[in-house]
């Protein structure tokens, strides 16, 4: 198949929703149809293809004319994983080929990118089929291994919506003298939590990158938050919003994980974080430790996630996704394949699938927050928490002890280690 011999393109969406999916579909369809290429939307990710079926939606400029500003996905989405069994890979490739689909545009996160790379490799190396594929990176988690200053689409919308929600919680905390314990989506990385926390000026934001190598102990998290509560009391503020990235849960020490109920995993092996009672356990542990200090705070749990994923995209994400959709079609028409489409400094930069695979795990690399960057340090500076600079304050623990039923020496022995980390 020569560079311009594409007659039919299929588009599918995998993973969780993200604002801007429909805008990619819109732009890719418009671009392809202008060049005489048929476009079909494939429902529910790889689900039906793995069963040897093609459940499709014909896409034309008329069908997609007004979807670019809508949230959600007109093709739905699914986490079906075709890489587990060879028969699933065979069914996916055979079904695409039998229906005349010569190129595939996948829209998704790291799992979908990995699945697309393995489908293309199987088609080319095992079945001898010239199937082309290009991946448009989508995730509100912002954790694909792109250059540090390049966001994934959907992130900016999720950050904006999340910021408004956290700012509402801050106002409620002030009004009602509540403490809110908020967990933000983000998978293993802390990009979304940090982005929301900085923008909304949350009292404190905790992300897994603070614990290099993982193995986070629940008590360490509790200690940080208890000290945040005490420092706020010292300021005369018995309220606040503590924002935690869900990656903390993914990196909890095994002993602490065993204490959690409903620990289930999805088809890609990820913990189903929405089903875990982490905030319940965190809240109870904090209340116990605060009670031991003679303090009682009203704490409210809040998970920040599903309300972010299908929000209508902000202008930034609409423009970004339209460019990505057009670039994906152009890349395929020029003979490109096996790559992820990115925009860097105003130019289209395809990144080969294999360049994004971790050589040790064989999976797509995960981009983590760089805690040595100014981006992180500027957020950390304005958090209320015990920091290394507090170590020089000789009267701090005396002032904190005056708020509790214990002594400065006991508090210092218990919590001073936080000022060293």
The residue extents of the domains of the chain are 8-153+313-356, 156-308
Beta strands in 305-344 (DSSP E): 339-344
How many whole angstroms separate alpha carbon 80 and alpha carbon 267? 7
**Reported pTM:** 0.91
| Amino acid 270: pLDDT | 57
**Domain boundaries 8-153+313-356, CATH class:** alpha beta
Contact in structure between 363 and 144 (CB atoms under 8 Å)? no
What is residue 214's predicted lDDT score, i.e. its pLDDT? 82
Query: Using an 8 Å Cβ cutoff, are 187 and 266 in contact?
Result: no
pLDDT at 374 (0 to 100): 96
Q: Which helix (H) or strand (E) holds 309?
A: helix 306-309
238, 177 Cβ separation under 8 angstroms: yes
pLDDT at 265: 60
Rounded CA separation 56/41 (Å): 5
For the chain, the first-to-last Cα distance in angstroms comes to 58
Query: CA-to-CA distance for 78 and 112, rounded, in angstroms?
Result: 10
Same fold: 8-153+313-356 with 156-308: yes
User: What integer pLDDT is reported at residue 255 of this predicted model?
Assistant: 83
Q: Residues in the chain with pLDDT < 70?
A: 1-4, 261-275, 421
Give, for 112, the enclosing helix (H) or strand (E): helix 110-125
Query: How many DSSP H helices and E strands does the chain contain?
Result: 16, 11
Spatial CA neighbour of 329 closest among 131, 159, 105 = 105
| CA 160 to the chain's CA centroid | 14
Residues with catalytic roles? 141
One of 3.40.50.300, 3.40.50.460, 3.40.605.10, 3.30.9.10 is the CATH number of 156-308, namely: 3.40.50.460
pLDDT at res. 243: 98
pLDDT single digits (tens) 68-81: 999 999 999 999 99
């Amino acid at each position: 198949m020569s560079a311009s011999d594409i007659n039919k393109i299929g588009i599918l969406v995998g993973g969780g929703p993200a604002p801007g999916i429909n805008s990619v579909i819109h732009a890719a369809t418009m671009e392809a149809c202008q060049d005489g290429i048929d476009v079909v939307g494939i429902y529910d990710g790889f689900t039906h293809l793995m069963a040897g079926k093609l459940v499709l939606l014909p896409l034309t400029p008329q069908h997609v004319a007004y979807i670019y500003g809508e949230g959600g996905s007109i093709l739905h989405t699914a986490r079906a994983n075709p890489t587990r069994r060879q028969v699933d890979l065979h069914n996916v490739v055979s079904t695409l080929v039998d229906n005349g689909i010569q190129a595939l545009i996948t829209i998704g996160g790291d799992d979908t990118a990995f699945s697309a790379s393995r489908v293309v490799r199987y088609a080319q190396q095992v079945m001898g089929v010239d199937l082309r594929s290009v991946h448009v990176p989508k995730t509100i988690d912002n954790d694909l291994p792109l250059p540090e200053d390049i966001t994934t689409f959907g992130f900016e919308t999720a950050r904006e919506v999340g910021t408004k929600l956290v700012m509402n919680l801050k106002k409620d905390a002030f009004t009602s003298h509540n403490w809110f314990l908020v967990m933000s989506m983000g998978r293993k990385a802390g990009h979304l939590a940090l982005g929301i926390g900085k923008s909304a000026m949350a009292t404190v934001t905790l992300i897994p990158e603070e614990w290099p190598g993982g193995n986070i102990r629940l008590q360490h998290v509790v200690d940080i938050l208890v000290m945040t509560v005490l420092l706020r009391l010292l300021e005369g503020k018995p309220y606040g919003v503590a924002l935690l990235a869900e990656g903390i849960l993914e990196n909890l020490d095994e002993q602490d994980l065993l204490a959690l109920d409903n620990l289930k995993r999805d088809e890609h092996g990820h913990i189903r974080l929405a089903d875990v009672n982490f905030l319940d356990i965190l809240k109870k542990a904090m209340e116990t430790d605060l009670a031991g200090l003679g303090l009682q705070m009203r704490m409210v749990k809040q998970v920040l996630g599903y309300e972010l994923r299908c929000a209508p995209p902000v202008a930034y994400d609409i423009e970004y996704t339209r460019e990505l959709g057009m670039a994906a079609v152009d890349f395929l028409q020029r003979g490109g394949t096996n790559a992820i489409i990115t925009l860097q400094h105003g130019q289209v930069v395809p990144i080969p699938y294999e360049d994004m695979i971790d050589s040790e795990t064989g999976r797509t690399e995960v981009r983590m927050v760089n805690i040595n960057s100014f981006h992180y340090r500027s957020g950390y500076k304005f958090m209320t928490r015990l920091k290394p600079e507090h170590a020089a304050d000789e009267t701090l623990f005396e002032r904190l002890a005056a708020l509790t039923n214990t002594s400065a020496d006991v508090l210092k022995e218990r919590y001073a280690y936080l000022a060293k980390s």
